[in-house]
Amino acid sequence: MYDVFLYGTANGYLLEYDSRTSEAPSLLSYLKRHVLRSKVKFRDVTDEFDVWAAWGSSQDIVWQTKRQWSKARSGVVEPFWPESDPWPWGSQEHVIHDRRADGMGRRLLVKKSELPQDKASYDLKPHADYVLHRISNGVPEGVTDIPPMHAFPMDSNLDLMGGLDFRKGCYVGQELTVRTYHTGVVRKRILPIRILDPSNPESTIPSLPDHIDIKAVKSNVEGQGIKPRGSGKLLTNQDSYGLALLRLEHLASFFAGDVKLELEDPKGKKLLAEPWVPPSWPDEAHSPIKE
């Protein structure tokens, strides 16, 4: 329903989420609906804070320990943290260690009109650079990549990013999620891709509309096109790079050289998508499961 970051503070919690319109109800109204008689208050502080991302500094390397993985037969893969690192997201107020992927750095909430305290040791970059940074690490975010009320958690890499707990009690979608963990199969993942024009591979592809179909196509000896079942979806994309929801069977065939992944721009021009696997992922995260 919501892609949320939770910041602990001395007086409560701050929730950061994508507030763009979606099929899910407004998060603030949804939370207020469940207060009942609890001594809890909510208020919108959007006008008080900006969200910043910082990555690449030497101080981030100190806490960014090599992650270890717990793997299920279904293809679900979870990070787990050593006892020496019981709270891997950091304890500094208004700062989160972004453990969704290696190299993501930190997220910071900063008062409006102010800059982060350690700004002098960083280069200031536009938001587009952050988008490319998370694309390269295979990190989906917000309503475009994780459509509320439609996206399935493991398809959206929430297990890989440490955003799911398969031992927790009840939450929306918990029964289906846990059943897939124990008896089902993960068939799709969101991966980074490069989009290219086969007639001019070095050209830059302008941003394309979200959720364009990506089809896996292979050719038999007569050269007739064969389209395997199902298709993928293009999600966030920028400057020839993007994130795509792909079937793992198509991904395996692509890496084996048996298929190519095709999509069309709004004018009907055929383009190619070339996925890659983020280096921190274990093999189990992108290998199709044999049923």
pTM of the complete model: 0.92
Q: Which pLDDT does position 220 carry in this prediction?
A: 56
Strands (E), 119-265: 188-196, 213-219, 225-226, 232-238, 241-247, 260-264
Residue type, 166: F
Q: What CA–CA distance (Å, rounded) separates 177 from 78?
A: 13
Write out the H or E segment, with its range, that includes residue 279. Answer: none
Rounded average pLDDT over 29-46: 91
- Whether residue 79 is contained in a domain is answered as yes
Confidence of residue 241 (pLDDT cuts 50, 70, 90): very high
Q: Please tell me the predicted confidence (pLDDT) of residue 219.
A: 58
Domain assignment present for 125: yes
Tokens of 258: 């048996």
Q: How does residue 227 score in pLDDT terms, banded at 50, 70 and 90?
A: low
- The answer to whether position 252 is within a domain reads no
pLDDT class of 290 with cuts at 50, 70, 90: confident
- Which pLDDT score, from 0 to 100, does residue 115 have? 92
- 265 domain residue, yes or no: no
Q: Kindly state whether residue 164 falls inside one of the protein's structural domains.
A: no
Which of 213, 189, 229, 188 lies closest to 273 in space, CA to CA? 213
> Does some domain include residue 133?
yes
Structural domain boundaries enclosing 92: 4-139
Is 267 within a domain? no
Residue 163 maps to a domain: no
Can you read off the two tokens belonging to residue 39?
A: 């001594």
pLDDT at 223: 45
Cα-flanking dihedrals φ and ψ of residue 196, to 5°? -140, 155
Are 56 and 160 in contact by the 8 Å Cβ rule? The answer is no
Provide the number of structural domains found in the chain: 1
